[in-house]
Amino acid sequence: MLAICASLIPVFGAPAALAADFPVKPVRMVVGFAPGGGTDVIARLIATELGEKWGEAAIVDNRPGAEGTIASDYVARSAPDGHTLLFVNGSFAVPPSFKVAFDSVKSFAPVAMLATQPAALVVSLSFNVQNLKELIAMAKAKPGQLTYGSTGARTEPALKMAQFLQRIDTTMLNVPYRGTGPIITAVMGNEVNMTITPINTALPLINSGRLKALAVSSSTRSPILPDTPTIAEAGDLKGFEAATWYGVLAPAGTPKDVLQKIHDDIEAVVRTPKVAETLRAQGFLPAHPYSPGEFADYLERDVKRVTALVESLGLK
């Protein structure tokens, strides 16, 4: 009997030892977008710090395409040992427009939420509205006539705009473009009336006076645009919030103590003055320090919310 019990000790002790030793090899940080975007920026910033903390390389692996599903599928099929992580943003909650082999909730183990970022609702200087209330009044007076630019109806910025339009009970025409740059150019050139875009992409043009920000989509004002009201306050839309979140997922089945170790190390990095200030300067806000379990609950709720929004819009 003693021999049997002794033989079980390594088995039961293995997960704790794995967490204590983690990582034992380079960690691959997969990003489903091209270099330069918000998710990539955060991943590279954190990878540098975690690599130093862990004494193992943290390698950012960009796998863009197919609405981010190439990266998601790769991580979902990876070994659940913590050495392959997926960096995502709120668009992860948007249901793919085609069949995929993974489940956005069941195939992943949430690790940590990194930051949030509001979007800015911007118009050209020549567009004849001075504030969000005037825009809302014009949109209601001309349903379906005002235009906004997006990279597609199922993309997260377009869904933010759809959420706003549902709240004010009117419609606008969504004009698709191939990227954020062409959209911003179109707004400045009056090809479209407005767009809603991540705050950091429009910030230089707002600060230089080439674009006018009517509101930001977060529940509180952005510290880098303190004079710009939120959509909730500027439009009398109590409770409105449509900020983008950024987080880290691991493959489902990753041991809980390994998830907790990675979570704690990420939280320690994100809260350092150096990283926190770098993120703040680019328009990111600190995220609530969700535990892995709390983040899992948040992700499940957000997937349900966004899926319901997509279905209500009749998007295929």
Summarize pLDDT for 211-221 with one digit per residue, the tens: 999 999 999 99
pLDDT of residue 282: 85
**Sequence letter at residue 217:** S
Rounded Cα–Cα distance for residues 97 and 316 (Å): 6
How much is the pTM?
A: 0.87
- pLDDT (tens digit, 9 = 90+) per residue, 73-128? 999 999 999 999 999 999 999 999 999 999 999 999 999 999 999 999 999 999 99
89 close to 156: Cβ distance less than 8 angstroms: yes
pLDDT(14) > 70: no
| Number of Cβ atoms within 10 Å of the Cβ of 207 | 12
Q: β-strand 212-216 against 119-123: which pairing, if any?
A: antiparallel
In this predicted structure, which of 161-165, 221-225, 228-232, 296-300 has the lowest mean pLDDT? Answer: 221-225
- pLDDT (tens digit, 9 = 90+) per residue, 191-248? 999 999 988 889 999 999 999 999 999 999 998 899 999 999 999 999 999 989 999 9
Ranges of H-type helices in the chain: 2-21, 38-54, 69-76, 132-141, 156-168, 180-188, 199-207, 231-234, 256-270, 273-281, 292-312
For residues 154-165, give the mean pLDDT. 93
- pLDDT (tens digit, 9 = 90+) per residue, 50-65? 999 999 999 999 999 9
- pLDDT (tens digit, 9 = 90+) per residue, 86-99? 999 999 999 999 99
pLDDT(10) > 90: no
pLDDT of residue 271: 93
Residue 129 CB contacts under 8 Å (≥ 6 apart), including other chains: 123, 135, 138, 214
- pLDDT (tens digit, 9 = 90+) per residue, 128-148? 999 999 999 999 999 999 999
Both ends of the chain: CA-CA distance in Å? 61
Mean pLDDT of the chain, nearest integer:
91
Residue 194: in which H helix or E strand, if any?
strand 194-198
280 close to 223: Cβ distance less than 8 angstroms: yes
Domains and CATH numbers, the chain: 26-117+244-312 (3.40.190.150), 119-234 (3.40.190.10)
Both structure tokens of 91 = 């668009």
For residues 42-47, give the mean pLDDT. 96
Rounded Cα–Cα distance for residues 211 and 306 (Å): 29
> What is the residue whose two structure tokens read 């300067």?
281
pLDDT(4) > 90: no
| Number of Cβ atoms within 10 Å of the Cβ of 296 | 18
For residues 164-181, give the mean pLDDT. 94
| Number of Cβ atoms within 10 Å of the Cβ of 239 | 7
pLDDT of residue 19: 80
196 close to 120: Cβ distance less than 8 angstroms: yes
pLDDT of residue 283: 85
